[in-house]
Structure 1
């Protein structure tokens, strides 16, 4: 009988109210330089990206930006999933991935002047809140650097274009709620205040660990 495999390490996802989510993330100057998520060991960007993907899978998301795990760097991960899952089956998200993306220093430019606002958006940093009405370009071009330091260009349409625009917003400190009328945010005031409270508690925990010189316990 083989030994059971440990679940992969995942990062805590920062919630609405965490200051890192409102800062403009720093450009990545050296892809070979290690990066460090708070109270986790320093790792290569490739390792950080892998852990971000695992974090995203566990949270059942389609994209995750580095600030959402507390790393103020211009980097995000995203995936395309198969959309033909049979009803009644619950395959792990990783098994449904058609293609994954890791983009460093992405620059997103619209290719289509028309915008679509009919798709419902959500955010892993604002769990449980979903809204339509966010206007996004229907097609975009993304110029970015890959994990080997090579410049790349990618064009995307429809939902994938929306995912890229959503994640790029995070790198500038923008939530999808910011792109909706203020009364929408006000409608979720109670929920957002609760997330802010959770963020303050988590930051206090991080500060306590920092002073003690410890690390967050890895998820095993």
Structure 2
């Protein structure tokens, strides 16, 4: 998991095709489907609802997301596998989002697996969106989403453009978390140092 402070989280991701072979840093080349499966597993391990490719070090326009049968908070601290509550999984290549409702909603609390432990309300998101994307078979798809799921899709699409949810909040919100963010940045730096050392040993 790439953390706040890692440069890959600020890069604009590139389009990809369903037939591409992808190389996640630290791993052998994999198909898009294999990467998507691994992303879903990582997301479940971290108890998340979405994960974008840049968050695992891949600057490509791919994200995964899920709908759960009930509220994650109701099972906080329990060992019940998240997979047992999945209603639907989404794997989206080259997603494009269009708002269907001009009204913005700020009521949901957002967090991010790349910024662990920090949650804030106030991020303005479109309440209803249409999302066009390519599936794992290379076929064009589209769907409409509203409220929380629409927010998840918009959050993940932001990752593909190098935008984090804290960027959409006033500067003083980020300042309030300065100490926590510095710790996360240090963890990101340590990981990148270890990854570089591993790549030198293996190549």
User: TM-score per shorter chain, which class?
Assistant: over 0.9
The whole-number CA distance in structure 2 between the counterparts of 1:84 and 1:68 is 24
Q: Deviations over 1:108-166 (max 9, x none)?
A: 11000001001000000000000000000000000000011011011001100000000
Aligned to 1:159: 148
Aligned to 1:37: 24
- Could you tell me which residue of structure 2 aligns to residue 9 of structure 1? none
5+ long unaligned stretches in structure 2? none
Alignment partner of 1:48: what SS? helix
- Equivalent of residue 13 in structure 2, options 17, 22, 25: 25
**Of the candidates 193, 198, 201, which is equivalent to residue 209 of structure 1?**
198
Write 1 or 2 for the structure with the bigger share of strand: 2
Alignment counterpart, residue 98 of structure 1, candidates 87, 96, 102: 87
Structure with larger Rg: 1
Hey, what does 2:53 align to over in structure 1? Answer: 66
Distance 2:57 2:5 in 1: 12
Q: CA deviation at 1:67?
A: 0.2
Instruction: Give the helix-richer structure, 1 or 2.
Output: 2
Task: Give the C-alpha shift of residue 94 in structure 1.
Answer: 0.5
Return the alpha-carbon distance in structure 2 between the equivalents of residues 201 and 127 of structure 1. 16
TM-score by length of 2: 0.96
Counterpart Cα distance in 2 of 1:119 and 1:140: 16
Query: What secondary structure does 2:192 align onto?
Result: helix
Pairing of 1:190-209 with structure 2 (within 5 A): 190-209=179-198
Q: Determine which of 70, 90, 108 is the counterpart of 2:97.
A: 108
Cα distance in 2, alignment partners of residues 152 and 213 from structure 1 = 40
Measure how far apart 1:210 and its partner are: 1.1
Task: Find the aligned partners of 1:183 and 1:84 in 2 and give their Cα distance.
Answer: 30
TM-score by length of 1: 0.88
Question: What is the alpha-carbon distance in structure 1 between the residues aligned to residue 130 and residue 64 of structure 2?
Answer: 16
Q: Which runs of 5+ in 1 are unaligned?
A: 1-12, 215-220
- Residue by residue over 1:77-105, the C-alpha shift from the partner in whole angstroms, topping out at 9 and shown as x without a partner, is 00000017877964210010000000000
